[in-house]
Amino acid sequence: MTLSKAMTAPKIAQSDAHDLLVELVETPSVSGNEEICAELLASFFEEQGREAWIDDAGNVRAPGNGVLLTSHIDTVPGEIPVEVDGGVLWGRGSVDAKGPLAAMAVTAIQTGASFVGVVGEETDSRGARHLVQNYEEPEFVVNGEPSGWDAVTLGYRGFLSGTYSVSVESVHTSRPEANAIQHAVSWLSKIESAFDSNADSTGKAGSTDESGSVFESVTAKPVSFDGGLAADGLATEAEIEVQFRIPPGTTADEICEIAESELDAGEVSWHDSIQPTMASPRTELARAFRVAIRGEDGDPSLLRKTGTSDANIYAEAWDCPVVTYGPGDSSLDHTPDEHLELAEFDESVAVLSAVCESLGEKL
């Protein structure tokens, strides 16, 4: 059953919250293999008397009030020995994003907020895409990603992926004609220069500084490269998988047009795209976080991140306030040094609980 205002929400002991966090981190859940971790999470809610189930996409759902707390269950690959040492939890996913995930699960139990643990965020966001098509629009959305307990993320760049491929007749390596690998390298260099030039012309540089210039720029990143002599020996071939990050004010179509204008040979096939998002700091949700952080003696910061998250999908699909919050240092995402201080986890639960209680009183 769902939790109403009239019912008393159980208080989760700090030791039990820590146990949940450690158990989630100990349970591998690389994208595409989240089932066991999802079952563990659903069981946690059921043990606390909350209705919970796993939907067709593999998401864990625990309905509650109009405040939706959602974070992702999956992680990137990479084994990090799980241990708690000196109040610090080490392990894959401790920061991205099982720290935020566990904090939201505990908070949902304690406040009656709705909860969804989604799958596939690190790959194709299939869980979030399924959710926006099969979930009644909430009043508020808090997306779980590491921001630090005393900061709230308001903006993310968008995302576009594509594959450049080229094949040219083979010639002797002493000849000056470009082979496929040279064409591929040349195209990548040209698009990087094109977007740098475009940034310069609008006053948005390509380096990180306090003005958030990377957030405001398009960046291109090759993520795989394959090239060489074709199997029949009659051509050279090359293929690059490339990802673009899209700042607010720029569209995926504009990036495609610029990238294709730099083609001398070959072609680009385009794949997924996600629109950028930038939330207002003046929404009721953002204000609630600032008040809650100050209530825990913090000095709240408002962040814009250069990556992309499920928050982009929620903000595009739903006409309600969306922010991102969670414990942890995001510079540790996907690294071999991923770890989370348990004290920060506790602070984040306190902040989230204060936010949900404040908003819940108005629903």
Judge whether 231 and 204 are in contact, CB under 8 Å: no
CA–CA dist 181, 165 (Å, integer):
10
To the query of whether residue 296 is one of the catalytic residues in this protein, the response is no
Helix (H, G, I), strand (E, B) or coil at 178: coil
Pairing relationship of beta strands 83-85 and 88-90 according to DSSP bridges = antiparallel
Exactly one of 46, 55, 85, 121 is catalytic; which is it?
121
CA 168, CA 267: separation in Å to the nearest integer? 12
Of the candidates 47, 51, 56, 74, the residue annotated as catalytic is: 74
Q: What amino acid is encoded at 11 in this protein?
A: K
The string of DSSP codes covering 72-97 is E--B-S-----EEETTEEESTTTTTT
Let me know if 316 is exposed, middle or buried by CB neighbors in 10 A (0-12, 13-18, 19+): middle
- Residue where the block lists tokens 């600032």: 290
Cα–Cα distance, 289 to 304 (Å, whole number):
16
Q: How far apart are CA 335 and CA 232, in angstroms?
A: 41
Count of CB atoms within 10 A of residue 79's CB?
A: 10
CA 306 – CA 278 distance, rounded (Å):
12
Whether 74 is catalytic: yes
Contacts of 25 (CB under 8 A, 6+ apart): 82, 89, 91, 92, 93, 94, 98
Calculated CA dihedral for residues 313, 103, 359, 115, nearest 10 degrees: 50
Residues classed as catalytic: 74, 121
